[in-house]
Amino acid sequence: MDSVKIKIQRISHLFDDIPLPEYSTSGSSGLDVRAAVESDLIIEKSKVELVPTNLKIEIPFGYEVQVRPRSGLASKYGIGILNSPGTIDSDYRGEIKVIMFNFGKEDFLIKRGDRIAQLVLSKVYKAVLEESKDLNDSDRGEGGFGHTGTK
């Protein structure tokens, strides 16, 4: 498996006790990233919270890091990430923050160091747009949402 070096920096040493992002298993595609909160944070039902990670990264040109939800939080508590997957561009150098939303029926508690999201490295391909007066036909044509059936 190929690997790509990503530089990572902690913003404040007040959170040095929180582990850096890591793969949970050898087959994991996402690095688990943790909440860098000083005290417990509650995401009220139907509310959004911007959760800090205390991390900055340097992604090589030609790559992005996607911020994705954790399936366990979604299935057990109804916790998701808005703008999912979020994109961290190669030229961004600010703090990684996770836009979390509570779709659940109860408030959700985030503690210092809780795993809140996954970071997935992806190759980026630049599109070259070519304006055209016509496009090739396809079997689907202009069929929109639900065109191929709902189940």
Quick one: CA dihedral 116, 99, 110, 5, positive or negative? positive
Q: DSSP strand E in 3-96: where?
A: 7-10, 22-23, 31-34, 41-43, 48-52, 55-58, 63-68, 79-81, 86-88
Q: Flag whether 141 is in a domain.
A: no
CATH number at residue 94: 2.70.40.10
Q: Flag whether 16 is in a domain.
A: yes
Question: Which stretch of DSSP H or E encloses residue 71?
Answer: helix 71-77
- Among 62, 64, 66, smallest CA distance to 81 is for 66
Q: How far is CA 139 from the centre of its chain?
A: 34
Q: Flag whether 2 is in a domain.
A: no
Note down the domain range covering 41. 11-123
- pLDDT, one tens digit per residue, over 118-127 is 999 999 999 9
Residue 148: per-residue pLDDT: 72
Burial annotation 122-135 (CB, 10 A radius, 16+ → b, else e): eeeeeeeeeeeeee
User: How many domains does the chain fold into?
Assistant: 1
Q: Flag whether 134 is in a domain.
A: no
Residue 150: per-residue pLDDT: 65
Token pair for residue 74?
């979604």
- pLDDT, one tens digit per residue, over 42-55 is 999 999 999 999 99
Distances in Å between the Cα of 102 and the Cα atoms of 57, 110, 135, 139 are 27, 11, 42, 39
Whether residue 113 has pLDDT greater than 70:
yes
